[in-house]
Amino acid sequence: MPLAIQRDLAYPTRFVPFLTTLLFALISVVPLNLPGFSVVTPALALMSVFHWSVYRPDLMPLSAVFVVGLLVDLLTGTPYVGISSLIFLLARAAVMSQRKLFVNRTFPIVWLGFLVLTLCAFILLWALVSVLHGATVGIRPFAFQAVLTVAFYPVGSYLLARAHRMFLAKD
C-alpha cells in the first residue's frame, strides 16, 4: 500500500474533502420536485472540487478529483463517461496555477474566481458536448446551470467551510 494512503488511514478526517465532494455529487442528483424548480441543478461537485483545491489541495489530490468526476458521469447517466473527470481535472489545474490569487483573500474575491472558473468550465463543456454530439447543442441549459452553480456557491462554500473547521481544524 502506498505510504500516502497508509498515513491517511491513520487520520480518517483527511478523507473529509473527498467524502464531502462525493456527498455533494450524490445530493445533486437527488430529485427535488419543488414547484417551479427546474430540471437543472447546480453543479455541486464542481463547487466542492474548487473549494478544496483552494483551501486544502493536499487533501484533494488529482486521483480523487478523477474518481469524483467518473462517479458524477455514471450517476447522471451521461453518454460521455469521463467528461466530468476531464472538466474537474482541468478546473483543479487552473485553480492550482492561480492559487495565490485566492489564498487569504476575502470571500467576494474567491467567489469572483469561482465565477470565472465556472464560466470557462461550462463553455468548455458545451463545446465538448457539441463536438461529441456532432452538432451544436443548445447553450441555454449550460448557461442556466452555470448561473445556478455560481449563485449557490456561498451556501455550498459555507457548508464545506463548516466541515473544514469541524474535522480539520487541528490538522
- DSSP letter assigned to residue 135: S
**Type of residue numbered 3:** L
**Is the Cβ of residue 119 or residue 128 nearer to another protein in the bound state?**
128
CA 74, CA 7: separation in Å to the nearest integer? Answer: 30
- DSSP letter assigned to residue 2: -
Range in contact with another protein (rule: CB under 8 A) among 12-20, 65-73, 111-119, 159-167: 65-73
Binding flag, residue 13, another protein (CB under 8 A)? no
Binding flag, residue 103, another protein (CB under 8 A)? no
Q: How many secondary structure helices (H) and strands (E) does the chain include?
A: 9, 0
**Is the Cβ of residue 54 or residue 125 nearer to another protein in the bound state?**
125
CB 43 within 8 A of CB 149: yes
Interacting residue with another protein among 3, 5, 103, 169 (CB under 8 A): 3
Please report which residue ranges of 14-106 form alpha helices under DSSP H.
16-27, 44-55, 62-76, 83-97, 99-102
Range in contact with another protein (rule: CB under 8 A) among 27-35, 49-57, 107-115, 150-158: 27-35
134: left (phi over 0), alpha (psi -120 to 50) or beta: left
Interacting residue with another protein among 9, 12, 38, 155 (CB under 8 A): 38
Catalog residues that contact another protein under the rule CB under 8 A: 3, 26-35, 37-41, 43, 62-63, 65-66, 69-71, 74-83, 85-86, 89-90, 93, 122, 125-126, 128-129, 132-133, 137-138, 140-142, 144-145
